[in-house]
Structure 1
């Protein structure tokens, strides 16, 4: 694993959560994060929409960098993670309009949620000495949990109940899982000292 993949995977959840927290505070008059979506903070109608847009761009770039540096993971998983990052960039590129439908935004968000949910199930390794986070059972369980959270969000969109909360839980979990994987690889890569870890790189 490339050492910078650890940094990029750590920045992603910080940028996402920090972005939606700061952007929500900049909205006038009682913005409710449990009801309003993350996309609403980057939409054309939002105050200081550049805050959430910048956060989404940062998250997308981080996912792409993590995918490039996560060499112990299987190729299909890395491709899916990178695709999720690119789709996140497209979410930022196609913000919600002031009014009317937003098909490009909806498709981009759907692709991002799908790719960032399934990548763990495609990333596990059978033969290499990898930590539990890259073994079949844990990887597939992670994907199931992430998909379940996205399903909760999709159901909330239909009912209108706590849509913002469901989206933030799902998106936050998706942002954290690459960090969990890279940290586990980092720990496995230092059997006794920092020097041995650096030498293995």
Structure 2
């Protein structure tokens, strides 16, 4: 299994920070007119929003982080790395295709939906066979649980959007899970590599 470089911690760790920091700062700039419970983060990145550049910049940075993490995550299955990278590209496109100030956008919504799907699928596609010889987060069980959790949260987001309920909360849950899992995988891989290096070798008889 190819080793994961330590620098992969930087983009993986920055992803949740730039995302949460972006929507927090943009919401403060938007003021009390913004309802974080019912309104999505796309509202913060819409044309004319007070925090437009902050939220758009955060989405762009998130995409770059996912691309860099996918490049460094050499221990994962190639299909998973490609899917994570594609999710990063989707985040970049979302940053460049914001919603208009008048309301929702089919283009923006379509790209965002594709991004959600890709980032929910990549944990399962990144799983590697090998039992205990494989880092914990790349084993089938944890990977399947991660994909199921993200998929369930995304389904909740769709339900809340349709009923005009707590769509903002649901979307934040989905995006938090999807931005944190790459970090979990990288930390798992680095811990696995350190444990294997520290394991004493059996004497040759």
Could you tell me the TM-score, scaled by structure 2's length? Answer: 0.90
Does 1:18 pair with 2:21?
A: yes
User: What corresponds to 1:127 in structure 2?
Assistant: 130
- Does residue 38 of structure 2 align to residue 35 of structure 1? yes
How far 1:45 moved relative to its partner?
2.9
Q: What is the distance in 1 between the residues matched to 2:187 and 2:168?
A: 29
Task: Note if 1:65 corresponds to 2:68.
Answer: yes
Aligned residues: 194
Structure having the higher Rg: 2
Tell me the equivalent position of 1:198: none
The 3 A distance-change label for structure 1 pair 121 and 193 is closer
Q: How does 1:105-116 map to 2 (within 5 A)?
A: 105-116=108-119
CA RMSD in angstroms comes to 1.6
- SS across alignment from 2:165: coil
Per-residue CA deviation, residues 139-195 of structure 1 (Å, 9 max, x unaligned), is 11110111000111011110111010000011011000000111111111223889x
Matched, 1:172 2:172: no
Find out whether 1:182 has 2:186 as its counterpart: yes
Distance 1:48 1:24 in 2: 7
Q: What's the CA shift for 1:26?
A: 0.5
The runs of 4+ residues in structure 1 deviating greater than 2 Å are 191-194
2:101 corresponds in structure 1 to 98
Q: CA distance change for structure 1 residues 101 and 192 in 2, over 3 Å: closer, same or farther?
A: closer
